[in-house]
Amino acid sequence: MSDLTKNPAPETPETPQTPQTPDTPATAAEESAAPVPAVDPRLLVREEGIKGYWTEFTRKIRGGELGSLPVILGLIVIAVVFQLQNSNFLSASSVANVAVYASGLGIMAVGIVFVLVLGEIDLSMGSVAGVGAAVWAGLQVGNGMNEWVAILLAVLSGTAIGALHGFFFAKIGVPAFVVTLAGFLGWMGLQEWLMGGEGSINTPSGSVVENLTNYFFADKIAAYGLALVAIAAYLYSLLRDSSRRKAALLPARPLSEIVLRTAVVAILVLVVAYVMNEPAGARGLPLALVLFLAVLVLADFVARRTLFGRKVFAVGGNAEAARRAGINVDRVRIAVFAISGTLAAFGGLFIASLSGGATKSLGGGNTLMLVIAAAVIGGTSLFGGRGKVWSALLGMIVIQSIQQGLNMIGMSNAIQNMITGAVLLAAVVIDSVSRRTQKTAGRA
Amino acid sequence: MIHVSATPVLALRGVSKRFGAVQVLTDVDLEIHAGEVVALVGDNGAGKSTLVKTISGVHPIDEGTIEWDGRPVQITKPHDSQNLGVATVYQDLALCDNLDVVANLFLGSELSSARVLDEIAMEKRARELLDTLSIRIPSVRIPVAALSGGQRQVVAIARALIGDPKIVILDEPTAALGVEQTAQVLDLVERLRERGHGVILISHNMADVRAVADKVAVLRLGRNNGVFDVKDTTHETIIAAITGATDNAVTRRQARTASKEDAK
């Protein structure tokens, strides 16, 4: 490597640091000329500050890189429409309700995001959630085991089930669709068998599992403190990244952009914290939301910043290329299904907490579909290689907001399902159209 | 021409390989020196790909020896070959479309500390590498899917250089490229030679071979059929070696077209 990097070829120009707009004729002429300078046009645009940021934003939108924009616009529309129908929609209790209901399914959606990035599907999420809840209930309530041990074993049972799916998929070569379809049926049977004669096992009052969704940090300092910590951590990570990039002479985010990003995040986070704390009927910060956010932050770090995450995206993008690059594709696949099983079982405990106990039918019904829909609405591709962990949060908030809003204006379950289905279809349509625009704009 | 060392970096001596009843390679010799581009040519089924795969460790050899810097070595799996310093760029690029250029360059050999990626170090080194090779791409942070065919090919070749190999094997690097992109890849091959890498270039395109190669090693039906110095060998001689006869389809066709033009 040394002789490759030490002496840059004399004809290579230093990366120009002078700001340039892509729309000036000079740059356009340069781009059409044969030797295009090796610079990142997008990063140069950002050097101009807020105005450049806007140019960059509009260019991206025109190029079809919509990112999370459709979901955020969708959320605004949902909020306005339901608020006009029922003035309680944005009330403290309603928002807390959405947050709590979104948490359990959202944690499961994080699991399915990993599987979708791999380009596969896990149809057994609901059944595994049911098994997790049944294992926990059987051990703690049925056998009087320590509740923490019972919870740990329940979550680990999900890990084991997921790893088993991964084994059959990666090592034996059975399509994941079939493996997890078999799992969907089989684990549903195991769940019923574990529940035995009991139709349901109630959560003991005051137990950890009951608190998962019923505990609220009533102290106002909790919500505000968490918000401030999040803002500070976000700002710190942006500044640190920027200074390290400057030290390495790489294009870095300008200060104006860092301030803008932090301001947007700060406003969002503080508004949520305010709604949790201040209005009449506010109960404080829900524990469920804290756990969901913890899972999101951890999973996002794993997906974007670690070797493992890079391998998952590589296998999802081109498994053969990953194999030739020396990545153990089988191990990555098994690990991803194990993650999905783990989070499914963990989510199952939340569902048990919400419904007051483990039942024979927990995790059945539309649980699986809502989980997959959330990941897709949030913007994770079904075709592998593309997706963000945060799409689990965005998608699940959309779904739960719609259900909450329709409940508040007294719509029946049937109508709710139809509307959720239409939203899912709309999300996929937007995704497909934007991807086609990206292709024509040469960005995909 | 570049100074060529006395001991070849890689030498194959009497290499044979059979798949079941099919004798694919018989007693093949091949030498590659540092700073030398050896074109490996031959008709379909001549054994070019198999020969390359024995070097890159995909198929272990049955007989013969492989020497590295004059010492006999065993290459039984791809890892052995990579450890010696052989990098192979396959015909089907093996890039991940969804990952950006930096991620693709370092795929499988990411820089990290405590299993956390060091994106900044990787981006810095990627820029240095691409600048050194005078590779022009719009950004190192766009997905490979957004690049043109030629850009993807140069990224694939650049990726082979991350581990600083001594020998780079290029399997039909210009097969699917346009005129401009082909020229870019050929430029890159010359830059590899200038930096002292030995290059094995598999190609069906005689124009490319004559443009960049120092030597042409011809395989025919799994055997050596001559090693030629490009600058003092005619096109016809190489074609004759590939096809195994001075009277072959190519010369007959040339004769035909020549006589037609004479008639005009």
pLDDT of residue A38: 44
pLDDT confidence band for B263 (50 / 70 / 90):
low
Looking at the complex, report in whole angstroms how far the Cα of residue A256 sits from the nearest Cα belonging to chain B.
21
- Best CA proximity match to A241, nearest among A255, A227, A260, A228: A255
User: Which tens digits make up the pLDDT trace of A38-48?
Assistant: 444 444 444 55
Quick one: CA torsion of B104, B108, B113, B117, rounded to 10 degrees?
Answer: 30
Which residue bears the tokens 């976000």? A234
Of A23-27, A163-167, A298-302, B110-114, which gets the smallest average pLDDT?
A23-27
Are the Cβ atoms of B161 and A2 closer than 8 angstroms?
no
Whether residue A307 lies within 8 A of chain B, CB to CB, comes out as yes
- Best CA proximity match to B243, nearest among B42, B75, B72: B42
What is the residue-averaged pLDDT of chain B?
A: 85
- Taking 90 as the threshold, does the pLDDT of residue B187 lie above it? no
Are the Cβ atoms of A321 and B196 closer than 8 angstroms?
no
First to last CA, chain B: 42
DSSP A373-437: HHHHHTT--TTSS---THHHHHHHHHHHHHHHHHHHTT--HHHHHHHHHHHHHHHHHHHHHHHHH
User: Which tens digits make up the pLDDT trace of A158-174?
Assistant: 999 999 999 999 999 99
Give the residue from B53, B88, B107 with the most A CB atoms within 10 Å of its CB, the best one to mutate.
B107
- Taking 60 as the threshold, does the pLDDT of residue A1 lie above it? no
pLDDT of residue B59: 86
Chain A residues with CB-CB distance to B96 below 8 A: 313-314, 317-318, 321-322, 385
Are the Cβ atoms of A244 and B107 closer than 8 angstroms?
no
Report the DSSP beta bridge partners of residue A290. Answer: none
User: Residue A304: closest CA among chain B residues belongs to which residue?
Assistant: B117
pLDDT of residue A50: 64
Are the Cβ atoms of A5 and B137 closer than 8 angstroms?
no
CB atoms within 10 A of CB B233: 16
pLDDT of residue B90: 79
pLDDT confidence band for A331 (50 / 70 / 90):
very high
First to last CA, chain A: 31
Whether residue B14 lies within 8 A of chain A, CB to CB, comes out as no
CB A161 within 8 A of CB A128: yes
Are the Cβ atoms of A8 and B131 closer than 8 angstroms?
yes
- Taking 70 as the threshold, does the pLDDT of residue A284 lie above it? yes
Whether residue A248 lies within 8 A of chain B, CB to CB, comes out as yes
Quote ipTM for the complex.
0.79
pLDDT of residue A25: 41
What is the residue-averaged pLDDT of chain A?
A: 85
pLDDT of residue B247: 63
User: Which tens digits make up the pLDDT trace of A57-95?
Assistant: 787 777 777 777 888 888 999 999 999 998 888 888 889
Which residue bears the tokens 């079941």? B20
Q: Identity (one letter) of the amino acid at A275?
A: V
Chain A residues with CB-CB distance to B145 below 8 A: 444
CB B194 within 8 A of CB B182: no
User: Which tens digits make up the pLDDT trace of A209-227?
Assistant: 999 999 999 888 999 999 9
Alpha carbon distance A55, A45 (integer Å): 8
Looking at the complex, report in whole angstroms how far the Cα of residue B161 sits from the nearest Cα belonging to chain A.
8
User: Which tens digits make up the pLDDT trace of A388-416?
Assistant: 999 999 999 999 999 999 999 888 888 88
- Taking 90 as the threshold, does the pLDDT of residue B99 lie above it? yes
pLDDT of residue A283: 87
Q: Identity (one letter) of the amino acid at B228?
A: F
Alpha carbon distance A213, A357 (integer Å): 12
pLDDT of residue A17: 41
What pTM did the predictor assign? 0.83
Are the Cβ atoms of B127 and A250 closer than 8 angstroms?
yes
Can you give the three-state secondary structure of B107-170, one letter per residue?
A: CCCCCEECCEECHHHHHHHHHHHHHHCCCCCCCCCCEHHHCCHHHHHHHHHHHHCCCCCCEEEE
Please give the average per-residue pLDDT across A418-422, as a whole number: 87
Please give the average per-residue pLDDT across B148-172, as a whole number: 86
- Taking 60 as the threshold, does the pLDDT of residue A309 lie above it? yes
Give the residue from A17, A59, A237, A310 with the most B CB atoms within 10 Å of its CB, the best one to mutate.
A310
Of A107-116, A353-362, B26-35, B74-83, which gets the smallest average pLDDT?
B74-83
